[in-house]
Amino acid sequence: MAGNDAPSSGGLVGPIPTTVSLASCPALEAKSILPPVRVFRSTSVENLNSTPKDRAYWRAKSLRRLFSMREPEEDLEGSARLPIVEESIECLRRNDYGGYTIPAHNLYPFQWNWDSAIVAAGWAVFDEARAWEEFEKLFSGQWEDGMVPSIIFHRPSTSYFPGPEIWGSPAAPSESTGITQPPVASVSARFLFEHTEHAELAEEQMADLFPKLLASHRWWYKARDPEKKGIVAILHPWESGMDNSPAWDAALQFPVDNLPPYERKDLQHVNACMRPTKETYDHYLTLLYRFKAENYYDSNKLYWVSPFRMTDLCTNSILFRANRDLRWLAIKLGKTDVVAEIDEWLERGFEGFKQLWDEDAGLFKCQDQLTGKLDDAATSAAFLPLFAGVASKEQAAKLAENLKQWLDKVPFGVPSTDPRDPRFEPLRYWRGPVWIIINWMIFNGLRHYGYDDLAQRIYDDSVALTSNAGLREYFDPQTGDGAGVGALVRQFTRNCRILRNAISRDQPPKIDAINAYVLKNFRTGDKLFMSLLRCYIDDKVEASCVIPAAQPRLAAPVTIVQMPPVPMTNTEVLGSKSRV
């Protein structure tokens, strides 16, 4: 199937165009070419707020685009799902810093790479010009060698660590980090281009953007696959976007350097129990300072010196999909001279992915490139090769089977770590919670392979989570509670205070005393509290704790310590962080 013959995709779902020979791309035969989206009547962006009817139109359109809905428009109007889209639009506006969207006030006050690429597709639903601006700003930070940094520090903020003063990148093109993030940009750019209602604007913008996208893909292969394995490496957990995934635990065992004292700012905005531990942060910073000392502007060198070098499934799946979308764009724009180069990336990618398949587990796994070992952690990234379209039919069937088993264990999918894994923590960053953007990618991949029922379950869960808990950074797969920025702050703070009181009566704190206190005062099996307990134990007691065995549910805490009200902020949607 030639890329330029590909029918229009419904939102980002749909045919993944490539001319890579079908023989070497079994996934492409796996069917599920979705019908093109219906052509809507033309409504101008200016009319967005004018009448309830217009608003209903935009909401329906955005849902259809983002989730590739196939129902008639009437089914969507008046649906309980619609307020989510409306809230998302408001959220984007609230976080608009003038051409770029911050993921969250305070915690994430700059422009993040993959978040921005994702929210551009959100902006496109109701303001295409603004969507293109998001890319313009993002690529204004692109380095000369093609790398798009993970964060662009367009303007100062004191609420984030490590900021530009720690990274110390040159001021031009923009102060930024010296590492990158998953290359979602080409996927989103295709979406904008394919679904535009302002063709002239889209042509003009894409003429400018396409060479930048191409340069960034070339950077990935040059800097992160110099050995031509077909799969690229990440050199820092932050590059994966799934910063705190258990898939990095084993590879982060290298000794920590003697670091300058530092103060984490994230803990001022989110409870420590939902964030990476201090030990993990020490490793993050060790990598940062080592890269800086090695001059991280020489990315070719970093590949060889980094003590952390992983094949990340999330990055590689997104890159593979992005290659296909870049190829589609190249053909549309008449840039056929670059197609062979992209085909080569795709061919090699198919080969590279084969090494990441764990037949016994029926899953793809991340791989430590320094040891050659597949990592044993099963994370939601394992399902992203479906989004890439790189899995064979047989692999897709096993992935679907595995996913069903995960979903049997939790009311809300898809958890970021296998809920049967002892490392699963339902509230800690990337170690259990659900991320809507990952749901969307898995949903998209399942539809591509024809697993419509399973896709529907994920769609329904996503709608239920966001409808019930609001637009949160992430969600607890066991309770459906929103978590991350702004969420559960009061509850956590209160529980922390109670526990701290218990511990401080016992100097040094003793595990038995903590256990007794927990048993007396808290409902065992309360995962929220268990996370909190583990956090306190990690921080305060140098011993392992025997978590009390399951007990009948006990009464709620007996002592409620009066706390000053914690201001709750609004929440946000769409990016990988999707936050407040």
Binding site for ligand DGY (CB under 6 A): 150-151, 238, 243, 266
Who contacts 51 (Cβ-Cβ below 8 Å, separation ≥6)? none
Indicate if 473 belongs to the active site.
Answer: yes
Could you tell me the smallest distance in angstroms from the CB atom of residue 151 to ligand DGY?
Answer: 6
CB 161 → ligand DGY: shortest distance, Å? 8
CB 251 to ligand DGY: min, Å: 17
- 180 forms bridges with which residues in the sheet? 149
Question: Identity (one letter) of the amino acid at 123?
Answer: W
Residue 8 corresponds to which amino acid? S
Identify which of residues 151 and 535 has a Cβ nearer to ligand DGY in the complex.
151
Annotated catalytic residue: which of 243, 257, 343, 368?
A: 243
Which one, 280 or 570, has the nearer CB to ligand DGY?
A: 280
Nearest to ligand DGY of 103, 413 (CB atom) = 103
Report the distance separating Cα 121 and Cα 128, nearest Å. 9
In the set 128, 312, 418, 473, the catalytic residue is 473
Residue among 400 and 483 whose Cβ is closer to ligand DGY: 483
Q: How far is the CB of 266 from ligand DGY (least distance, A)?
A: 6
Note every long-range contact of 370-378, with CB atoms under 8 Å and residues 24 or more positions apart, other chains counting.
370/251, 370/307, 370/308, 370/309, 375/247, 375/250, 375/251, 375/310, 376/250, 377/245, 377/246, 377/247, 377/249, 377/417, 377/418, 377/421, 377/423, 378/402, 378/417, 378/418, 378/421
Query: Would you say 238 or 406 has its CB closer to ligand DGY?
Result: 238
CB of 166 vs ligand DGY, minimal distance in Å: 11
Instruction: Give CA–CA dist 268/289, Å, rounded.
Output: 23
Q: How far is the CB of 428 from ligand DGY (least distance, A)?
A: 12
What is the residue type of 252?
A: L
Comparing every residue's Cβ against ligand DGY, the nearest one is 238
CB 157 within 8 A of CB 269: no
DSSP assignments along 133-178, one per residue = HHHHHHHTT--TTS--BSEE--S--SS-SS-HHHH---SSS--B-S
397/415 Cα distance (integer angstroms): 19
From the CB of 69, what's the least distance to ligand DGY, in Å? 31
CB 546 within 8 A of CB 578: no
Query: 243 an active-site residue?
Result: yes
By beta-carbon proximity to ligand DGY, the closer residue of 238 and 412 is 238
Query: Which residue, 155 or 420, has its beta carbon nearer to ligand DGY?
Result: 155
Q: How many CA atoms lie within 13 Å of 314's alpha carbon, on the beta-carbon side?
A: 26
How crowded is the C-beta side of 444, counted as CA atoms within 13 Å?
Answer: 28
Q: How many helices (H) and strands (E) does the chain have?
A: 21, 8
Q: Which is nearer to ligand DGY, 61 or 275 (CB)?
A: 275
The answer to whether 144 and 215 are in contact (CB under 8 A) is: no
Minimal distance, residue 180 CB to ligand DGY, in Å: 10
Point out the residues that are catalytic: 243, 473
